[in-house]
Amino acid sequence: MSSNQGTTLQPLQGAAGTTVSPDHNDYFVLGGHIYCLSTKGETFVSDRWDIRLDTWVPFDLSNGAPHDEAGRVSAAVDQSSTQSGPFAYHQGAKDTHPIIYTSALASREAPLAFMDADGRFRRQPTHNGRPGPLGQLLHSAGRLIAAERDVPRLWASPEPLNGEWISFGNPDWESHGAMRISHVLAHQGQIQVVLDNPDTGFEIWQSDDEGTNWVPVVLNGAYRYRRNAFVTAVTVHQGYRFLAASSVNADPFASGRTVGFELLVLGPSNRWDVLIGDCRCTPDGLRAPLLARGPGLDHTDDHRVVGLGCTADTLYLLTTHRRVWRLTENEVERLSIDNDLAPASLLERKGSVWLVLGSDGSMSLQPLS
């Protein structure tokens, strides 16, 4: 563990006692605790970060999913977490308690899994083979909303355990190059989806809670086009959505002229601004980076943000080159962590996370992809 101006950074190997798979874990901050949900074989496992013990401790899911003081368990992942993920909590009309859902990527016939009363992992078949493999889940307005992993398509179901899903609007995103839905968000009672589009740049679309009226919020990678083809990380704080976008998704060593990532912010009214990145002309006016730092925080070799975390006044980001940055209103600071990790260790540590503890006790997590 190393210290830098009151902030402690610690790499974690994954939740204690679990077999963490990159496709089956999620981290979120709730009620002053950090939770890690994961699957171990056929079982759901939850661990909670204990600040006093400085380690993960198992969290018993048999008493129900973690929830906030108001009992709003359904809000945990999509509003209070550091990122939305393949886990979601949902309570159907016939359910006596909220149920944890996740995706079962290996199964096309049963893309959804849930935690049964005995804590076991159960796959839920769907009718007509739809939807396909799932990449995103979100609870909203009494339904579970699911985004397919391989195509830009959304589904909704009030009672997922019945296996019945209906298409959730779905404009023809695919025909103009959108590849997949990378994130699903709830914003002011509406649903927003972030779409990867390697041809023209990422897009954000918004609909009412019925999915019947989709309108674009951000197009053409915020007018950085292909250089913002993918949104690699999102975090939400008090109505502000922070997005990291780049030309690179999974492969940090992609060929071609390298450009650094951008960090964008969408305000409550959906106006977008560049926090760090390129200055550019747009149909919406000139956009210059608010923090006067260029792409990749002036490092064009820093292709991608792999994690974002937010506290009340600070944004943390972790980049491909093992750099952690702390952004406040007037300051951009690189935190010194290079000595904590061997150069080759980043890509070997899938599933582990950076835990950032602020001097005020605030916490944030940056998963290592």
Partner 1 sequence: MSQSFVILSPPRSFSSVACGMLGQHPQLYGVPELSLFVADTVDLWFNHHTRRLKRPQGTHGLLRTLAQLHEGEQTESSIQRAWQWLAQRRDWSTARLWSYLEGRVAPRILVDKSPMTVLNADFIERLYRYLPDAQFLHLTRHPVPTAKSLAEILSGSEDSGRRVGRDVNPFELWCRAHGNILDFCSVLPTGQSLRLRGERLLEEPDLYLPQICQWLGIRDDASAIAATKHPELSPYACIGPPNARLGNDNKFLTAPELRPARFKDPSVAQSSEILALEPELRARVLSLAAELDYVE
Q: Does 226 help bind partner 1 (rule: CB under 8 A)?
A: yes
Q: Does 203 help bind partner 1 (rule: CB under 8 A)?
A: no
Q: Three-state DSSP class for 156?
A: strand
Q: Does 254 help bind partner 1 (rule: CB under 8 A)?
A: no
Q: Does 285 help bind partner 1 (rule: CB under 8 A)?
A: yes
Residues 96, 52 contacting (CB under 8 angstroms)? no
Candidate ranges 99-107, 221-229, 318-326, 354-362; the one touching partner 1 (CB under 8 A):
221-229
Q: How far is the CB of 215 from partner 1 (least distance, A)?
A: 21
Q: Peptide bond before 295: cis, by omega within 30 degrees of 0?
A: no
Candidate ranges 63-71, 74-82, 156-164, 222-230; the one touching partner 1 (CB under 8 A):
222-230
d(CA 228, CA 296): 12
Nearer to partner 1, 133 or 294 (CB): 294
d(CA 87, CA 25): 8
**Which run of H or E residues covers position 220?**
helix 220-223
Distance of CA 31 to the CA centre of its chain: 19
Of 14, 131, 160, 295, the one binding partner 1 (CB under 8 A) is 295
Please state, in angstroms and as integers, the Cα–Cα distance from residue 192 to each residue in 23, 28, 216, 351, following that order.
22, 20, 9, 26
Q: Does 211 help bind partner 1 (rule: CB under 8 A)?
A: no
Residue in 307, 293, 219 with CA at minimum distance from that of residue 262:
293
Candidate ranges 124-132, 231-239, 288-296, 324-332; the one touching partner 1 (CB under 8 A):
288-296
Q: Using CB under 8 A, which residues numbered 91 to 110 contact partner 1?
A: none
Q: Does 175 help bind partner 1 (rule: CB under 8 A)?
A: no
Single-letter amino acid, residue 144: L
Q: Does 187 help bind partner 1 (rule: CB under 8 A)?
A: no
Q: Does 131 help bind partner 1 (rule: CB under 8 A)?
A: no
Q: Does 200 help bind partner 1 (rule: CB under 8 A)?
A: yes
Given phi > 0 = left and psi -120 to 50 = alpha, else beta, which region is 361? left
Candidate ranges 92-100, 121-129, 132-140, 219-227; the one touching partner 1 (CB under 8 A):
219-227
Q: How far is the CB of 147 from partner 1 (least distance, A)?
A: 25
Per-residue DSSP letter, 288:
-
Of 1, 166, 292, 347, the one binding partner 1 (CB under 8 A) is 292
Distance of CA 49 to the CA centre of its chain: 19
Residues 200, 175 contacting (CB under 8 angstroms)? no
d(CA 57, CA 59): 6
Residues 272, 265 contacting (CB under 8 angstroms)? yes
Q: How far is the CB of 289 from partner 1 (least distance, A)?
A: 6
Nearer to partner 1, 170 or 225 (CB): 225
Sign of the C-alpha dihedral, residues 99, 104, 107, 111?
Answer: positive
Of 92, 133, 294, 358, the one binding partner 1 (CB under 8 A) is 294
Candidate ranges 48-56, 132-140, 167-175, 285-293; the one touching partner 1 (CB under 8 A):
285-293
Q: Does 300 help bind partner 1 (rule: CB under 8 A)?
A: yes
Residues that bind partner 1 (CB under 8 A): 199-200, 225-227, 256-257, 259, 277-283, 285-286, 288-289, 292-295, 298, 300
